[in-house]
């Protein structure tokens, strides 16, 4: 499948998706959101892909925001639809994907760009990265899950300050807040993401999928995450991966998981 705004590369079980609009600082427009959805959907279906990495092209930006020119004249109804559709096909879609998605934040991650990074299962940043949700400076609020995910990741007070000031934080502050897991140089960023991804690929895909589901359950309204965990834990006992994993442990050898 060919795309206009993104590049997809697969190597050793890792699919790297690069948002490739450098002249627009990789801003998210409607077409790019749709292409990301399609690429991620294909990667989820591909049995060879175990982990996804999302990054931006160039050295300046991961994603510098949404493409404001696309919605500057929207009505209330159109704005509501923009947020609902975007959350459904990309941001919630990534968060609930059965395969791990790592954000490699290689520069500015602002507005929709930070929301995209936060929808991923965890984030790594280059030391030149800057992150923020500047929407209130445009008379609007984050609409792709930013008001929900940022407090979950860094706490309510810090999220309130970031959103209300429309300010940016640097990579080290993001690390201290828990917004990113690691900070490294731009040159080492993808290498470190791949190193972590390779550790993930050693483990059971079916168990990892269950872990994503159960961790997410804790943040869903009206859902008892402990109950979800109990059921998912029990289901693991009926999988080939469980039989292989426990047998390999007892036989003191490396497990060969099939993802079934």
Q: What angle do CA 40, 43, 66 make, to 5 degrees?
A: 15
Catalytic-labelled residue, pool 35, 95, 135, 194: 135
Cα–Cα distance between 36 and 234 in angstroms, integer?
34
59 close to 106: Cβ distance less than 8 angstroms? yes
Cα–Cα distance between 162 and 182 in angstroms, integer?
20
**Which run of H or E residues covers position 195?**
helix 186-201
Catalytic-labelled residue, pool 31, 59, 77, 115: 115
Which is nearest to 23 in space by CA: 56, 54, 1?
56
Cα–Cα distance between 95 and 209 in angstroms, integer?
11
Cα–Cα distance between 120 and 65 in angstroms, integer?
16
Question: What's the token pair of residue 62?
Answer: 């991961």
Which is nearest to 49 in space by CA: 89, 87, 88, 8?
8
Active site includes 244? no
Active site includes 115? yes
5 close to 31: Cβ distance less than 8 angstroms? yes
- Point out which residues pair with 6 in neighbouring strands: 19
Question: Which residues are tagged catalytic?
Answer: 115, 135
């Amino acid at each position: 499948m060919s795309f206009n705004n993104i590049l997809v590369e697969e190597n050793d079980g890792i699919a790297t998706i690069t948002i490739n609009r450098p002249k627009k600082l990789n801003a998210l427009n409607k077409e790019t959101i749709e292409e990301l959805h399609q690429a991620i959907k294909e990667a989820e279906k591909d049995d060879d892909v175990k982990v996804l990495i999302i990054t931006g092209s160039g050295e300046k930006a991961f994603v510098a925001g949404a493409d404001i020119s696309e919605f500057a004249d929207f009505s209330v109804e159109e704005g509501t639809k923009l947020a609902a559709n975007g959350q459904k096909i990309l941001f919630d879609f990534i968060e609930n994907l059965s395969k791990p998605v790592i954000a490699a934040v290689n520069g500015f991650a602002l507005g929709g760009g930070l929301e995209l990074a936060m929808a991923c299962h965890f984030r790594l940043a280059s030391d030149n990265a800057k992150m923020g949700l500047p929407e209130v400076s445009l008379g609007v609020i984050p609409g792709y899950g930013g008001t929900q995910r940022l407090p979950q990741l860094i706490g309510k007070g810090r999220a309130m300050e970031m959103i209300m000031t429309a300010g940016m934080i640097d990579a080290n502050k993001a690390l201290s807040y828990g917004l990113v897991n690691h900070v490294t140089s731009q040159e080492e960023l993808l290498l470190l993401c791949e190193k972590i991804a390779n550790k993930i690929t050693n483990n059971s895909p079916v168990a990892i999928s269950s872990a994503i589901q159960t961790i997410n359950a804790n943040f869903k309204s009206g859902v008892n995450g402990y109950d979800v965990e109990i059921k998912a834990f029990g289901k693991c006992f009926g999988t080939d991966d469980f039989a292989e994993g426990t047998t390999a442990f007892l036989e003191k050898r490396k497990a060969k998981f099939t993802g079934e």
